[in-house]
Structure 1
Amino acid sequence: MWINATSIRRALARDDYLSTLSPDRRPVDPPARLRRSGRVVVTRPGGLPVVRYEPATRTPGVELMYLPGGGLVNPLVAEHWWIIERLARSTGAAITVVNYPLAPEHDAEETAAFVDAEYARLVRRAGSSRLLVAGDSAGGTVALGLASRAERRPDALVLFSPWLDLELGNPAIARRVRRDPSLRVPGLRAGAVAWARGRSLRDAALNPIRADLAGLPPTVIFQGGRDIFFDDAVSFAARAREAGSAVRLETAPDGFHVYVGAFWTPEARAAFALTGEIARNPSRILT
């Protein structure tokens, strides 16, 4: 992992990280194997691809919206499809993958408007079905914002290594960064500032750890110990439980950022298995 993530780590260590972004970056298309294992429909509201994947072995009555991470500035990559496929297998859900507007070309308000509109469409489609929202890294940031605004709350949130404090102000980060093979503060913070576009990173409408954590949907967080976001996840989960929300934190001591992407590992398999149980019965978050 340290070798594979070298280029990411070096880029994120730069204060001018945004200058390294290609203006032509775009989400990776669904792999051909997805069409062999189910039905794939791609729509392009506002020019951004929204992908619906209905596995052939779909469980009726379960819908899942997936919000991919990328530091609020990078689009979905091939490894995200690995996660999406495993979610489909474990939950049986029809999965709607929302590629939302990214900074620096777009800001938080545009992201929220786009995601809210796609969620409203999914709510109308889902009817009385169970409706889950999942996201990794910055996708977790966006998922929590959506859940705070939605008239119909998701039945559960599933967050893989979510970015919970856009300020990155936790002093524990300085200690944990030595063990994190990919994430670095300067580039992440530059992305957050661009996404906020003049708003404070302390704004509770943008920054999950600053938000009112009462009334969250049942939420499970999967977090690795070799991730600079780890300590914020511990703090977030504790504060949410104190506020009366059902939040479950599952940790993998040697897990790196979004460790579930390594789907062949025991830790990732356990995470997907638990997610499948939660899709069948969201109250499993409480046990």
Structure 2
Amino acid sequence: MSDSQDDGLRELYASFTRRLEAEPEMSIDGMRALFEQWHLATAEPTDVTYRESADAPVPATWCVPLRSDDSRVIIYTHGGGFVVGSRHSHRKLAGHLATRCATPVFVIDYRRAPEHPYPAQVEDTVSVAKWLMKTEGLAPADIAFAGDSAGGNIAVSSALRLSQEGLAPAAVVAMSPWFDMENSAGSLDENAQYDAMVDQSTLKIMTGLVLNGQPPRTPGANPLYADLSALPPTLVTTSQHETLRDDATRFAARAKAAGRDITLFIEPNAQHVFQMAVGRAIAADRSLEQIGEWVRAMFTR
């Protein structure tokens, strides 16, 4: 295993950027096809099986470790700026998460922007949680949420909505989350030279696509302006060198001020969603182990 922080992840991200720069008029479908290669950074997990869900509210894949507690589940919402990414691009990461947490992971294809602007993504995730409660006989405390980048936003926003309905999940994990729809973080400029994936101009485009004219401080779309008084226990990870670092740190500060159970891990010198290099980079493996230990503890409290 490489001792680098991302072992090829930066180069994969740079290849995405080169393709986009070479084809500035690339269609949404073209961008989605490009980002389906995201999984190339991730080693294939072992001791996990996959099966498609036949009747979930949205297309979804079960990632089931061979040794797991099937009385609980993690709903996973993939990253991709609300526009690209899928359960296929994140299947391997979800599989690694499942094995570390000893818990089945249900990775979903929520509706994406621009065809389906906010709140479609949160509505789909909430509907999946309620469907699992009904069909699998799960209590809210048997369910956790996890997601990366925009998926981290969706995971937090969906957990908040359920909590406000009296259906609080056990926990939330947000990896390299994109929370700030105003894109006002100082780290966007500070870390522009280090982050090979996320830049301010791209964020502004994707913000326009997902909000479709809605205010960027809409609480359900921007957790930095949400009421966090009912936030379930939440773990947030980021990198010191991410352009979105301040989204994570500002959210953690707000959650702490609200008296919530918040855990923040900051990895030095890593790329956006550095966990995508799990199985190939020490930093990614270390983070998944931390997440797994934390999630298992949340389920058994």
Q: Does 1:265 align with 2:281?
A: yes
How much has 1:10 moved relative to structure 2? 5.1
CA contact (8 A) 1:130 1:279 kept: no
Amino acid at match of 1:244: G
Q: Does 1:279 align with 2:295?
A: yes
Distance 1:12 1:244 in 2: 43
Q: Does 1:114 align with 2:130?
A: no
How much has 1:8 moved relative to structure 2? 3.0
CA contact (8 A) 1:17 1:190 kept: no
> How many pairs are equivalent?
282
2:28 to 21, 27, 33: 21
Residue of structure 2 equivalent to 1:148: 160
- Cα distance, 1:12–1:222 mapped onto 2, change above 3 Å: farther
What RMSD, in angstroms, separates the aligned Cα atoms of the two structures?
A: 3.1
Distance 1:216 1:75 in 2: 26
Q: Does 1:3 align with 2:23?
A: no
2:147 to 127, 135, 148: 135
CA contact (8 A) 1:64 1:133 kept: yes
CA contact (8 A) 1:66 1:96 kept: yes
SS of structure 1 residue aligned to 2:11: coil
Distance 1:119 1:106 in 2: 20
Amino acid at match of 2:288: F
**Divergent runs of 4+, >6 A:** 11-14, 33-36
Distance 2:234 2:85 in 1: 24
Residue of structure 2 equivalent to 1:193: 208
After superposing the two structures, state which structure 1 stretch, 272-281 or 155-164, moved more. Answer: 272-281
2:261 to 220, 223, 246: 246
Residue of structure 1 equivalent to 2:104: 94
Distance 2:128 2:211 in 1: 21
CA contact (8 A) 1:148 1:216 kept: yes
CA contact (8 A) 1:63 1:95 kept: yes
How much has 1:265 moved relative to structure 2? 2.1
TM-score scaled by length of structure 2? 0.83
Distance 1:282 1:10 in 2: 41
Residue of structure 1 equivalent to 2:220: 205
- Cα distance, 1:218–1:81 mapped onto 2, change above 3 Å: same
How much has 1:20 moved relative to structure 2? 3.7
Residues 212-238 of structure 1: CA deviation (Å, up to 9, x unaligned)? 222211000111122111022111101
CA contact (8 A) 2:60 2:109 kept: yes
Give ranges in structure 1 of 5+ residues lacking alignment.
none
Distance 2:45 2:81 in 1: 26
How much has 1:113 moved relative to structure 2? 2.2
SS of structure 2 residue aligned to 1:177: coil
- Cα distance, 1:39–1:259 mapped onto 2, change above 3 Å: closer
- Cα distance, 1:187–1:13 mapped onto 2, change above 3 Å: farther
Give ranges in structure 2 of 5+ residues lacking alignment.
1-8
Residues 28-81 of structure 1: CA deviation (Å, up to 9, x unaligned)? 6999x88984351333657x5211232322223231100000011002275522
- Cα distance, 1:284–1:186 mapped onto 2, change above 3 Å: farther
Q: How does 1:24-173 map to 2 (within 5 A)?
A: 25=32, 37-43=48-54, 48-76=58-86, 80-124=90-134, 125-128=136-139, 130-150=142-162, 151=165, 152-173=167-188
Residues 71-113 of structure 1: CA deviation (Å, up to 9, x unaligned)? 1100227552221111111111111111101111111122222
SS of structure 2 residue aligned to 1:144: helix
SS of structure 1 residue aligned to 2:247: helix
CA contact (8 A) 2:170 2:299 kept: no
